[in-house]
Structure 1
Amino acid sequence: MKPKAKRQTDPAIALARREQILTAAAECFRRKGYHGAGMAEISKTAGMSAGHIYNYFESKEAIIESIIEKDMEEMFSIFQKFEDHPGDVLAALLDSLNIGVQRHMDTGSCVIDLDMMAEAGRNIKVATLLRETDIQARGRMRQLLTSERSALKDIDERELESRINVIFSMMAGLLLRKLLYPELTEETVLIALRPAMKTLLMPFDKAQ
């Protein structure tokens, strides 16, 4: 009987192992979907035994939970860049809009997001994680849009919530458009998206 691989006690090495597993799992999920990719394929892609993987993640569900958490950390780093931008909020968001469009139209890396959404419809734990991530994202955006550097700092809560949800909907919908219309380019999207975003980031009576 093959002995079970021991959990790595060195924190740096353990973190590297977790990242190795998450990268492999994300690759497998992109190729075959959450349900199509089994632990055997993930272990093969990661270059380690399934037993070794179970030292770091108790299940495939735990892996996808960590992928969601990792995506959330990346998203927060983007918000931090907005907050650190020397100009006003409008300039910060418009200057970075092409990066956001590029990220949301990347069907190679973002297709896993669609699989997570599908899984959320069946798995309450995954749905809860995605909703919690969305709550935190909306909170960071609300903080940004009500800061002293924002032209929207004095608008009421209902209007603010409306603007945030429309902005998020526009960005999230780009992946679907790219999948359904592969010829769509970032440049074409930005022709309409940039003025639309500008309208949403300014008081409506000044956006005309």
Structure 2
Amino acid sequence: MLPISTPLPSETSTEDPIASLRDLLERSRTPPRQEPKATPSPTSERPRSLLGEVIDTHHSELPGYVFVRWSAGSEQVARWLECVRTVVPQRGDRVLLDQPANWPEALVVAMLEPPCPGAIQPPPSEASQTITVPSGQCVRIADARGNSLIEVQGSSQGPVVRLIGDDVDLLVDGKLRLRAEAIELRGGRGGVDIRTDAETVVRGRFIRLN
């Protein structure tokens, strides 16, 4: 009988050919791993500058913030925004808003100077009319019976508007706003009477009572 040849130890294989074939098929079915796409950061947004108007200057919980309104296309936007340290606007001021690239909201960075009294005003529209009042005279509006209602005249300190009558009512369906650099209210011997059906709020950096 011929001797049976025994395989050498180096030629001995312990791998299962069926399992190896199964692994190969599984690898061919699995799609290659994809790296996650980079999400754009909010800091990549382009900064922009806007022009707004200050509506309110006092926030009970956010000192240094003012309430600003501006136009965004066809819409009106109003928000509380923080001011830079050197900018202290007042109500009615026009302010410049700038949004840094790494900040989620705009900042109030500057104020625009109010128009000078001698500044060139835009020409009136065709529908408007201008009435020139000579010095020392006034324009008077009267009712159908000839009773005077309003007088308007010029003075060295500016225009003077006089409402003629013992009792005058200013009636507005919505909100009445008085805007000026300084407001002074004076009452005579009749006193001053302030009444409201709602809450009364007095706001100011300093409030003096005397």
Provide TM-score, normalisation by structure 2: 0.18
Greater radius of gyration (CA): 2
Q: Which has the higher contact order (CA 8 A, sep 6+)?
A: 1
More strand by share: 2
More helix by share: 1
